Amino acid sequence: MSILKYIVSFLLILLGSQVMGQDTQASHSFKDNRVREYVTPQKILWVSSESTIHNIEGLLQPGNGQADLVGKNTCTLQGNQDLNPAFLLDFGKELHGGLQIVTGMFEGKTPITLKITLGESVSEAMSDVVGSSATNEHAIRQTTVQVPWLGKTEIGNSGFRFARIELLDKDRTLQLKEVNAISIYRDIPYLGSFKSNDDRLNKIWETGAYTVHLNMQDYLWDGIKRDRLVWVGDMHPEVMTIKAVFGANEVVPKSLDLIQGITDLPSWMNGISSYSIWWILIQHEWYKAYGELTYLKKHENYIFELLELLEQNIDENGMETLEGRFLDWPTSPNKEAVHAGLQSLMVMVFRTGIDLANLLGQPEHIKGYKKTIEKLKKHVPDPNGNKSAAALLAISGLMDAEKVNNKWLSKDPNSGVSTFYGYYVLQARAMAGDYTGAMDVIRDYWGGMLDLGATTFWEDFNLEWAKNAGRIDELPKAGKVDVHGTYGDYCYVGYRHSLCHGWASGPTAWLSEHVLGITITDSGNTVTISPHLGDLEWVEGSYPTKFGVLFVKHTKNSDGSISSQIQAPEGLTIINN
């Protein structure tokens, strides 16, 4: 090789290396810290025709996700000119993810077309997007897919328990080796626990924990089928549940950072003023539990600028004048209640502002926040019979908790409760000392969803819906109401209604706080233990802290007093009330 050719070759290699380096530097990637678990179906709930589907039970056998040449125990679907062969699978509980379809050898090596319909209820899985209240919004729950000869296909990214598989090709025969659910979730331990002599309360605690766990995806969502978004107000009950069950998890600060990063002041988070308030309240709750001052300081400027913006939304009479007015959906038509709730949240956020000013070394704000609170207290709205608003009036201190409980919350206690703001109703009842009444609401209202076959808690619920209603895990029956397809309101009519919504997990956090009696304060250094067993005989459980897991057991004595056993991690200060 001549010296000239050598130089040219060297320059080309060097140039190629630089280009490759530039490409590498310019590229972007991120890793998913969730796991994928493949779940075998538990039941075959329906088949279109036994004459066109053979060995359907083979799909209930555990598989390995691998196609093979032997084809033992495969399920056969024969195309039919009159009726498409189809079947419905039940995976046993609500999951987030999709389906893995493993095929065998069939005549003709060209792909075969299937229609896949996912559902959180049996009736949703049996419905079509066209001609019903079902949708493909946020996540595709119904689609057609081609599956290969002797191969594997993975589809879907939604919340579901049931899957309907239908063969669309009229002249083809499909060999199905496996249909597995792909369950995508964070592989994290349940550090918190709750067990008592009441199995119904135990199941409700576990269901709330599981509901939030499913929504702890790449970010903290409100729903895994619909509302797969960071709704920061909806996060508050979820965060309280995360604290009680999983402890410090990066999904919370990650989601708080996301919503702050995309919301430039003076805009409201998610377009809702109360959600910007909840963002500050969550920041405070997170610090109280884990004491991450560095993280809090990262948002310091935004916090105080947001509080300044909120101050600008109070008139001379002390009335809030916020825009983007929303508490929860069932409260929306009651304008007086929305005002009462927002007035209460304003008091709560400026009270929190005082604590944050102390923590962040900005005492110059404290005097002004105290004056703002006094100004707000001059105007105490009537909740107009609404339990959600009345509860916030009690929590904020604008009204006496016992008065609120006696006048509104304990009257017809299950009526007017929502899955989101029901948490604050429970909190207000605890403030009034009505622990047994609150526990009865948990048993009746949240337990009512379990009675209908729920494995996660819903976006909304009304006990009236349970009258003559069929279960969501059974095929619709003549004379029975399809609770999923029939009910729902506002943006969640019929099958669009999410049956796994994290904001509905409040009882889990409430039972850990008030029945186990665990409250973490002092930037996570101190726990106050003050159990309230109500009508329970005993309760035991655990709670994650920044020092490790705390365990307590409380037993009611014959004289009504409570004996407690406490096992605390080293470094955690215990105040036993």
In the three-class reduction of DSSP (H, G, I as helix; E, B as strand; rest coil), residue 162 is classed as strand
**Which of 207 and 50 is assigned the larger pLDDT?**
207
- Region 207-231 average pLDDT: 97
Q: Do residues 189 and 99 touch, judged by C-beta distance below 8 A?
A: no
Residues 75 and 174 in one domain: yes
pLDDT of residue 26: 59
Q: Are 366 and 372 in contact (CB under 8 A)?
A: no
Between residues 44 and 14, which one has the greater pLDDT? 44
The whole-number pLDDT of residue 77 equals: 97
> Do both 270 and 179 map to the same domain?
no
Are 173 and 286 within one domain?
no
Using CA atoms, how far apart are residues 369 and 141, in angstroms rounded to an integer? Answer: 48
Alpha-carbon distance of 353 to 332, in angstroms, equals 27
pLDDT for 4: 53
| DSSP one-letter code for 503 | G
Claim to verify: residue 173 and residue 268 sit in the same structural domain: no
- What pLDDT is attached to residue 28? 81
Query: Which domain-ending residue is among 383, 399, 415?
Result: 399
Type of residue numbered 411: K
- First-to-last C-alpha distance (Å) of the chain: 89
Same domain, 270 and 174: no
pLDDT at 16 over 70: no
Model pLDDT, residue 21:
46
> Residue 150 has what pLDDT?
97
* Greater pLDDT, 80 or 37: 37
Same domain membership, residue 282 and residue 391:
yes
pLDDT at 294 over 80: yes
Residue 19 confidence (pLDDT) above 50: no
pLDDT tens for residues 234-275? 999 999 999 999 999 999 999 999 999 999 999 999 999 999
Bridge partners of residue 47, in order along the sequence: 87
Quick one: pLDDT band at residue 29, thresholds 50, 70, 90?
confident
Check if the beta carbon of residue 71 is closer than 8 Å to that of residue 177. Answer: yes
Is residue 349 domain-resident? yes
Q: Are 404 and 427 in contact (CB under 8 A)?
A: no
The model's pLDDT over 120-144, given as tens digits with 9 standing for 90+, comes to 999 999 999 988 999 999 999 999 9
Does 525 map to a domain? no
- Residue 502 is assigned to a structural domain of this protein: no
**Mean per-residue pLDDT for 300-326?**
98
**CATH number of the domain where residue 352 is located:** 1.50.10.10
97: exposed, middle or buried (Cβ count in 10 Å: 0-12, 13-18, 19+): buried
Query: Is 509 a member of any domain?
Result: no
Assess whether pLDDT exceeds 60 at residue 2.
no
Compute, in degrees rounded to 10, the torsion defined by CA atoms 556, 559, 561, 567. -50
Residue 1's pLDDT is what? Answer: 46
Structural domain ending residue among the three candidates 373, 399, 425: 399
Q: What is the mean pLDDT of residues 371-385?
A: 98
Give the range of the structural domain holding residue 41, as residue numbers without chain letter: 35-185
**Domain CATH for 48:** 2.60.120.260
In a domain, 567, yes or no: no
Spatial distance between the Cα atoms of 119 and 499, rounded to a whole number of angstroms: 10
Beta bridge partners of 573: 526
177 and 57 in a single domain? The answer is yes
Q: What is the pTM of this model?
A: 0.94
Q: Are residues 178 and 306 in the same domain?
A: no
Give the full edge-to-edge strand order of the sheet including 573-576. 518-521, 526-529, 573-576
DSSP state, 470? P
Q: 169 with 267, same domain?
A: no
Please report which confidence band the pLDDT of residue 31 belongs to, taking 50, 70 and 90 as the band edges: confident
Domain finish residue from 399, 426, 443 = 399
What does the pLDDT average to over 346-368?
A: 97
Characterize the bridge pairing of strands 573-576 and 526-529.
parallel
Higher pLDDT, 529 or 33: 529
Nearest one of 207, 176, 183, 50 to 112, comparing CA atoms: 176
How many other β-carbons are positioned within 10 Å of the β-carbon of residue 491?
Answer: 12
7 lies in some domain: no
**How many domains are contained in the chain?**
2
Chain CA centroid to CA 524, Å: 24
Residue 12 scores a pLDDT above 80: no
Cis peptide before 266 (omega within 30 of 0): yes
What residues contact residue 335 under an 8 Å CB cut-off, 6+ apart? Answer: none
One domain for residues 170 and 41: yes
Judgement on whether residues 44 and 167 belong to the same structural domain of the protein: yes
Please report the pLDDT score of residue 32 as a whole number: 87
Residue 233, Cα to own-chain centre: how many angstroms? 12
Residue whose C-alpha is closest to residue 453's, from 135, 119, 192: 119
**What digits encode the pLDDT tens for the residues 531-568?**
999 999 999 999 999 999 999 999 999 999 999 999 99
pLDDT digits (tens, 9 = 90+) for 496-538: 999 999 999 999 999 999 999 999 999 999 999 999 999 999 9
Do residue 177 and residue 48 come from a single domain? yes
pLDDT mean across residues, the chain? 95
What pLDDT, on a 0 to 100 scale, did the predictor assign at position 9? 54
User: What is d(CA 183, CA 36) in angstroms, rounded to the nearest whole number?
Assistant: 6
Position 448 in a domain: no
Residue 531, in any domain of the structure: no
